[in-house]
Amino acid sequence: MITSVANQKVKQVVSWHTKAKERKKDNIFLVEGLKMFEEAPEESIKEVYIEETLLAKLEKGSGIYEKLEKVGFETVSSEVFRKMSDTQTPQGILAIVERPTYKFEELLKIENPLFVILEDLQDPGNLGTIIRTGEGAGVSAVFMTKNTVDIYNPKTIRATMGSIYRVPFAIVEDVEEAIFSLHKVGVKTYAAHLAGKDYYDSFSFKEGTAFLIGNEGNGLKKSTADVASAYLKIPMEGHVESLNAAIATSLLMYEAHRQRKG
């Protein structure tokens, strides 16, 4: 059992939590909690650390105990786990998971897709919520600009609630070029924009569709919005000018879901 916070493995985990470059270099991300561990693909799990008291509570036959034995794990003291954890109330289990690999060009081949393109979102909670809601709404993939918050940020991972394992995603170097590529394969792109004249429920999203969502503070860049197939807007009453990025995206994704299941 690891009992010292000076242990090299403990220091490495702390470094991964705080340094995106370290996570990227080692091609991993971190997940915490029984649910996130239970849903993690076994073949992708590289390391597991479990707090001694949680291990003592696990019962054989629970599935989690057997998965731990199969992938291997290290037991740590309560003090050490608090040091390793990124949360204020640690859940007692942490796993190091290998990053999945998706290619934009391959995702373009999906038939009749529903995509979301995020331009420079900065809030990890928003990104994680969009990934999670996207799974629920049946999105095919989520694309992000390189200036979008790190999808492997621990806060983003927590907000996905496990959807990070199942929703394909890719980072695009040039968002305008990505939009042109979508148009070439017959996908219509819709810019969520305050300058839109038509409400979102006046469009048909039954064919290949991609929603463009901009930065929380500034919205979509004009150069990005201008290459979209159309602008659309969400109705606003009172003095509200715009919605939270994750909520706005959720409305659009579920409208597409409603139409396609109609």
Q: What CATH code is carried by the domain that includes residue 138?
A: 3.40.1280.10
Q: Is 48 helix (H, G, I), strand (E, B) or coil?
A: strand
Angle at 189 between CA 184 and CA 194, to 5 degrees: 155
Domain that holds residue 60: 8-98
pLDDT tens for the 262 residues of the chain, in order: 999 999 999 999 999 999 999 999 999 999 999 999 999 999 999 999 999 999 999 988 889 999 999 999 999 999 999 999 988 889 999 999 999 999 999 999 999 999 999 999 999 999 999 999 999 999 999 999 999 999 999 999 999 999 999 999 999 999 999 999 999 999 999 999 877 789 999 999 999 999 999 998 888 999 999 999 999 998 888 887 777 999 999 999 999 999 999 8
Asked whether residue 92 falls in the same domain as residue 218, the answer is no
Last residue of a domain, one of 39, 66, 98: 98
The CATH number linked to 94 is: 3.30.1330.30
Asked whether residue 121 falls in the same domain as residue 194, the answer is yes
The single-letter code of the amino acid at 140 is S
CA distance 104 to 151: 16
DSSP annotation string for 109-120? TSSS-EEEEE-S
DSSP annotation string for 69-110? HHH--EEE-HHHHHHH-SSSS--SEEEEEEPP---HHHHTTS
The kind and range of the H/E element at 9 are helix 8-18
Asked whether residue 49 falls in the same domain as residue 137, the answer is no
Q: How many distinct structural domains can be found in the chain?
A: 2
